[in-house]
């Protein structure tokens, strides 16, 4: 299948996890792909493996996003697919929320996402597709995640309004809400390995399909939303979570 033939796609946070798998899927469907990330070495390594262009840009820094847009414009002119995926997970319970953590997490997951779209907008083709990577946490009261959840809920609220405002240009904006997906994100929280294993074990039992998602599961949904096959879909959200959002009371 090559339904993204002739399209230019940008994947923020494409050197790891869901972004990496989605860049791979976009590429396999025929798109020209640019991945971004913060660390030059990791970005270069992933770009080499994926045979795509890799550019360094911290989405927490608006000037860096502007520089990224200039580089993409120089290389490709216009963009058809913007996968706003870069994000972090910094757990902390109510009562232990620092101002620095809130600013950092909201700065990447929400402000970074907003300014990614804001700065790419001038080079998005009419008919482009923006996919925001949110989370089922936007709708759950999972302990330790008040700020992460709020950052993703804010992103989903933004998605709906942006979809309305960009509809005259036929630019579609949708959110994807994954449940737990096996990526390096949890290992970056500073949790000890036995804590991480305990968390994974407990989480897996709560998922009706009894497994974590794989990055490739999410990539296929994102690729569909990015394609012209989804041309009547905008302002929507898609849970992809093994059924966890059903919240079964028994089972």
Which residues lie near ligand NAP (CB under 6 A)? Answer: 12-13, 15-19, 36-39, 42, 58-60, 85-89, 108, 112, 133, 135, 178, 180-181, 183-185, 188
Active-site entry in 20, 148, 158, 238 = 148
Task: Examine the residue annotation and report whether 148 is marked as an active-site residue of this protein.
Answer: yes
Rounded to a whole number of angstroms, the minimum distance from the CB of residue 73 to ligand NAP is 19
Residue closer to ligand NAP (CB basis): 142 or 185: 185
Helices (H), the chain: 17-28, 40-50, 62-76, 99-106, 113-120, 146-166, 193-206, 215-226
- Residue 238 CB coordination number (10 Å): 18
Of 125 and 140, CB closest to ligand NAP: 140
State in angstroms the smallest separation of the CB of 148 from ligand NAP.
7
Question: Could you write out the DSSP letters of every residue in 196-238?
Answer: HHHHHHHHHHHSTT-SPBPHHHHHHHHHHHHSGGGTT--S-EE
In whole angstroms, the minimum distance from the beta carbon of 15 to ligand NAP comes to: 4
Between 32 and 83, whose beta carbon lies closer to ligand NAP? 83
Shortest Cβ distance from residue 13 to ligand NAP (Å)?
Answer: 2
Spatial neighbors of 218 by CB under 8 A, at least 6 apart, are 18, 21, 22, 133, 176, 178, 181, 240
**Could you list the active site residues?**
148
């Amino acid at each position: 299948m090559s339904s993204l033939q002739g399209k230019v796609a940008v994947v923020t946070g494409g050197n790891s996890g869901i972004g990496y798998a989605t860049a791979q899927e976009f590429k396999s469907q025929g798109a020209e792909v640019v991945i971004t990330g913060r660390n030059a070495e990791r970005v270069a390594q992933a770009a080499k493996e994926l045979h795509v262009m890799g550019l360094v840009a911290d989405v927490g820094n608006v000037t860096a996003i502007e520089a990224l847009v200039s580089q993409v414009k120089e290389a490709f002119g216009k963009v058809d697919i913007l996968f706003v995926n870069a994000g972090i997970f910094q757990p902390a319970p109510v009562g232990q929320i620092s101002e620095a953590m809130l600013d950092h997490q909201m700065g990447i997951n929400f402000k970074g996402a907003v300014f990614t779209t804001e700065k790419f907008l001038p080079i998005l083709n009419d008919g482009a597709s923006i996919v925001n990577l949110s989370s089922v946490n936007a709708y759950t009261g999972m302990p330790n995640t008040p700020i992460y959840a709020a950052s993703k809920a804010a992103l989903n609220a933004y998605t709906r309004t942006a979809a309305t405002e960009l509809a005259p240009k036929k630019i579609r904006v949708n959110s994807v809400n994954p449940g737990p997906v096996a990526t390096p994100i949890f290992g970056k929280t500073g949790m000890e390995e036995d804590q991480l294993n305990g968390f994974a074990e407990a989480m897996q039992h709560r998922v009706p399909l009894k497994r974590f998602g794989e990055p490739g599961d999410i990539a296929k949904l994102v690729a569909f939303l990015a394609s012209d096959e989804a041309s009547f879909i905008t302002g929507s959200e898609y849970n992809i979570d093994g059924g966890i959002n059903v919240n079964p009371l028994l089972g």
